[in-house]
Amino acid sequence: MAPRTTTVAFLGIGLMGSRQAKRLLDAGYDVIAWNRSPDKAKALAPLGARVAETAAQAASGAPIVVTMLENGTVVEDVLFGHGGVAAAMGGGAILVDMSSIKPAEAQDHARRLGARGVGHVDAPVSGGTVGAEQGTLAIMAGGDAGAFGTVEPVLRAMGRPTHVGGHGAGQLAKLANQIIVAVTIGGFAESRVLELHGERMLGRDFATKGRSVTHLKDIDNALDAARAIGLTHTPFTAASADLFRGLLSHFGDLDHSGLFAEIERRNGLPA
């Protein structure tokens, strides 16, 4: 158990963040929760979390700040917007960004936080809401080895962290993972992806456990990262992005196993 004096500010109490914050509470951390929709953060209060009115208030004085936000634009605003978290964090504190954003965005955030004396680790995850609830998330961490070592116990309360390289490397690893999931979601015998999502396809259980809009954001970020290094021909990734756009357009933000429904639609098959 972590000592109650170890404070972690957790920003972003959504489908994933709510479960991750609960894992930290169960591990004995003193969690300060913030979310743009306050009721989601308040739901953690009965479990022992302190609830902050603003992100900056949550981060002020916390040695470790975890963000689990929707995309790079939101992370940028929360960190560096008016009354942002970066200005509230003290020197020596570490920002652990578990959001899935572009590698270049993570590198930029690390540079700007470093100028303030604040550490940065990009640590996106794989494993969905089930992994978040069970504390079995695969956590791909980029950043300085020293900063990673400091936050590793916090990450271990939520899953299995692996230090994969410098700033932005965690995001690159996550994008590679998302490509693999998107391309193999409907095939490859004995695939762990198919084990999980094949059952949902058979039962037509497309209730959202992994948001398709989020997966499309990651695939688009992967395409952007590929273009940045001169890879202009990525057919399987591009095809996956096209399928997700069709799914979102015709069925809405289903679980990403709902790609099955979009493939059915394109082939004129009855639902």
- Of 62, 99, 102, 92, the residue nearest 78 (C-alpha): 99
Q: Determine whether 174 is an active site residue.
A: yes
Classify each residue of 23-52 as buried b or exposed e, where b means 16 or more C-beta atoms within 10 Å of its C-beta.
bbbebebbbbbbbeeeebbebbeeeebebb
Residue partners of 23: CB distance under 8 A and separation at least 6: 132, 133, 135, 157, 158
Query: Nearest 5°: CA angle at 217, between 213 and 223?
Result: 140
Phi, psi (deg, nearest 5) at residue 129: -65, -30
* Distance from C-alpha of 157 to C-alpha of 1, rounded to nearest angstrom: 10
* Distance from C-alpha of 211 to C-alpha of 208, rounded to nearest angstrom: 6
- Of 73, 64, 4, 66, the residue nearest 35 (C-alpha): 66
- Of 265, 10, 19, the residue nearest 137 (C-alpha): 19
**Selected catalytic residue, list 42, 174, 209, 217:** 174
Give Dmax (Cα) for the chain.
Answer: 59
Residue 149 structure tokens:
């070592």
Q: Count helices and strands (H / E) in the chain.
A: 13, 9
Phi, psi (deg, nearest 5) at residue 200: -65, -35
Q: Residue 94's beta-bridge partner residues?
A: 64, 119
Please give the positions annotated as active site. 174
